[in-house]
């Protein structure tokens, strides 16, 4: 039997909301923090085919501001399937890329380029006829990778932005036999790539090698469809989550299994906050929460079917002792699909199937241990802004 991880509730939980945006009739599916672009700004995408990529900003007076809508041909390319941005602090800029549901095209916005029109500053075309459903940018902003959604002939395509980036410089066809759900570069090694698929395989590559057989470094089989993966910030560990809501951690050196935590919906992991009415129903994402909490090197967001969200520290893989870093309740009425952390400002942002984007904060995660989280404002689609005093009760969105 697989041991279940223990949960330590001694860490003070985050329980209040500071801001909210409502997008009527749309699921919020993607959030990407643009910390090197404009502080406290996120790119967002929804399930609505007519919606563009929105840039939203949390202003100093705690109000959401709709900064801009990034333009692309949604009639030709379809809805946004993924948005990604790089987070390298020693770079002065940040590239945002998007994949789409119809065409094998990646659109990119580079703030280093003069782009008052808000159209993509570059676009990348794949060699496959299948659209991309996963993508990533290397930390030095030189390489972009994307994986297709083809169920019988999936392809991983790698582009080099320094040269003729209109076509990929490498394509991998043989590693996977089904949809490529995750592609990501190692944070400390721009030439090491991880891919995952609904075929259950984790694969690592050295992209300096063009021959696919020689480029593959390690392969692991999880035995279930993989939904998402995550590198630890030190490159030592890889986290993998399946469609069955199981979570496991692997050595990045050889993809040997370190620990299988099993189904997060069962045993002690199912209700890490005893105050919740419902148990965890799904994993949202794995993240690096540091420096919000210096001791935490990796963590996961999980949610309930009623919209509650938990952030759990997974750093202690040796003893499998996990700590609750945040419990976010009262912001969403339906399943939360995405979550993001602003390390510098101590913010968490969540988006859900109720069409809401909520921001959460607690001064104790960046300065002191005295103030609870507070709701700051509402932002009502398509642009009405409501400001609320910090002295008001803000546990309810309306």
CATH of the domain at 192: 2.130.10.10
| pLDDT at residue 72, rounded to an integer | 80
* Residue among 117, 112, 119 nearest 94 (CA): 112
Average pLDDT over residues 25-53: 85
**Measured distance CA(322)–CA(320) in Å, rounded:** 6
Residue 55: domain span: 6-387
In a domain, 153, yes or no: yes
State pLDDT tens for residues 229-276.
999 888 999 999 999 999 999 999 999 999 898 999 987 778 878 888
| pLDDT at residue 106, rounded to an integer | 93
| pLDDT at residue 275, rounded to an integer | 80
In a domain, 394, yes or no: no
| pLDDT at residue 389, rounded to an integer | 25
State pLDDT tens for residues 315-359.
665 655 678 888 898 899 999 999 998 877 888 999 999 999 999
In a domain, 1, yes or no: no
State pLDDT tens for residues 353-376.
999 999 998 644 443 332 333 333
For residue 74, pLDDT beyond 90: no
State pLDDT tens for residues 151-162.
778 999 999 988
Residue 331: exposure state from Cβ atoms within 10 A (0-12, 13-18, ≥19): buried
Give the strands of the sheet with 189-197, arranged side by side.
180-186, 189-197, 201-206, 216-221
**Measured distance CA(287)–CA(300) in Å, rounded:** 6
Q: Which of the four pLDDT bands, split at 50, 70 and 90, describes residue 68?
A: confident
State pLDDT tens for residues 191-202.
999 999 999 999
Q: Which of 23-27, 354-358, 382-386 has the highest mean pLDDT?
A: 354-358
In a domain, 398, yes or no: no
Question: In Å, how far are 32, 66, 132, 178, 252 from 205, measured between CA atoms?
Answer: 25, 39, 19, 18, 11
In a domain, 92, yes or no: yes
**pTM for the predicted model, two decimal places:** 0.84
For residue 284, pLDDT beyond 90: yes
For residue 388, pLDDT beyond 70: no
Are 181 and 134 a contacting pair, CB within 8 Å? yes
| pLDDT at residue 380, rounded to an integer | 30
In a domain, 392, yes or no: no
**What is the count of structural domains for the chain?**
1
In a domain, 395, yes or no: no
């Amino acid at each position: 039997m697989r041991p279940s991880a223990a949960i330590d509730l001694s860490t003070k939980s985050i329980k209040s909301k500071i801001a909210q945006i409502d997008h009527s009739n749309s699921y919020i599916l993607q959030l990407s923090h643009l910390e090197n672009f404009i502080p406290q700004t996120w790119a967002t995408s929804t399930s609505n085919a007519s919606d563009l990529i929105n840039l939203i900003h949390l202003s100093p007076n705690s109000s959401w501001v709709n900064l801009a809508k990034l333009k692309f041909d949604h009639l030709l390319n379809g809805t946004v399937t993924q948005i990604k941005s790089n987070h390298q602090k020693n770079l002065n800029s940040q590239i945002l890329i998007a994949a789409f549901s119809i065409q094998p095209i990646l659109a990119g916005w580079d703030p280093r380029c003069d782009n008052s029109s808000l159209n993509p500053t570059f676009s990348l075309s794949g060699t496959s006829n299948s659209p991309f459903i996963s993508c990533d940018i290397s930390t030095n902003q030189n390489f972009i990778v994307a994986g297709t959604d083809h169920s019988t002939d999936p392809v991983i395509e790698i582009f080099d932005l320094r040269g003729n980036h209109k076509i990929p410089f490498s394509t991998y066809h043989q590693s996977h036999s089904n949809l490529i759900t995750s592609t990501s570069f190692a944070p400390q090694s721009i030439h090491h790539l991880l891919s995952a698929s609904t075929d259950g395989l984790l694969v690592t590559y050295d992209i300096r090698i063009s021959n696919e057989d020689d480029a593959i470094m390690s392969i692991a089989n999880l035995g279930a469809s993989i939904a998402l993966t995550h590198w630890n910030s030190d490159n030592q560990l890889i986290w993998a989550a399946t469609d069955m809501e199981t979570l496991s951690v692997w050595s990045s050196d050889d993809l040997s299994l370190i620990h299988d935590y099993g189904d997060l919906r069962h045993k002690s992991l199912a209700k890490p906050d005893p105050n919740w009415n419902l148990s965890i129903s799904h994993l949202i994402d794995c993240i690096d929460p540091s420096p919000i909490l210096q001791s935490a090197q990796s963590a996961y967001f999980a949610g309930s079917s009623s919209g509650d969200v938990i952030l759990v520290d997974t750093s202690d893989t040796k003893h499998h002792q996990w700590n609750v870093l945040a419990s976010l309740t009262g912001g969403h009425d339906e399943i939360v699909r995405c979550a993001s952390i602003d390390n510098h400002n101590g913010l968490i942002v969540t988006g859900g199937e109720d069409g809401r984007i909520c921001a959460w904060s607690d001064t104790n995660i960046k300065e002191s241990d005295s103030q609870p989280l507070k709701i700051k404002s509402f932002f009502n689609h398509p642009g009405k802004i409501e400001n609320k005093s910090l002295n008001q009760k803000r546990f309810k969105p309306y």
